A = this chain, B = another copy of it.
Amino acid sequence: MNSNNEHKFFGKVPEPTLRRLPWYLSNLKLLRKKGEQYVSSTQLSKETNIDASQIAKDLSFVRVTGRTRVGYEVDTLITVLEDFLGFTRIHKAFLFGVGSLGGALLRDMGLEHFGLQIVAAFDVNPCLVGTTLCGIPIYHTDEFEQKMREYDVNIGVLTVPIEIAQAVTDKMVAGGIKAVWNFTPFRIRVPESIVVQNTSLYAHLALMFNRLNFNDIK
């Protein structure tokens, strides 16, 4: 199921480190565009506003150490990070719920460049079932178990209404889905072995609105 490249990284990387690694990656890509071959953690620190010692610690998780005076090789570090973050390998996914958000995710949002390919979608709306959106087939939710046997998929993208978020999650897990990317503002419950990534745009909006108002009244 996994490439050897991904198997060579052992142990659980702390979530804050995982959140910072994409920041380093985007800065490294900029440096490469500028023609830089090497970068020191001090330089990366200036670019990202993160402590140099923290950067060195984070990068040690991907088994990369800088060389004295020279620093990190930009090309190597980009390759290792992209590999480590899973962006170089295509992970196939099913999408559940072709509403406004689900439909937007089915259209090209650039997710494939970062390793996620939605190969099929599920809905119960008779106007949608049997059609395709940007080449991606939309099946009836009842066909999910059968399609699990046809496709090599272990990720489910959840964009259904909150009323059925838990029921659809239960169905996904029973059918063999190992990770749920939950875009609903609903807190789904899953068995411990299942990975849940919550990306509620609404929760992020609420955070932003709240801080914006707080700044206004200071």
Q: Which residues of A contact B (CB under 8 A)?
A: 1-2, 6-7, 9-13, 15, 18-19, 21-23, 25-27, 29-30, 33, 48-50, 84-87, 91, 99-101, 103-105, 107-111, 114-116, 154-155, 162-163, 178-179, 181, 184-187, 189, 193, 195, 197, 199-217
- Is the Cβ of A207 less than 8 Å from the Cβ of B15? yes
> When the two chains form their complex, are residues B212 and A195 in contact, meaning their CB atoms are under 8 A apart?
yes
Give Cα A39–Cα B155 distance, bound, in whole angstroms. 34
Interface of A is mostly: helix
**Judging by beta carbons under 8 Å apart, are A104 and B109 in contact?**
yes
A86 touches B116 (CB 8 A): no
Bound form: Cα–Cα A20–B26 in Å: 30
Known: A12-B214, A26-B185, A85-B206. 13 other contacts (CB 8 A): A6-B213, A11-B214, A13-B210, A22-B202, A26-B186, A84-B210, A101-B109, A103-B107, A104-B104, A111-B205, A116-B205, A195-B211, A197-B208
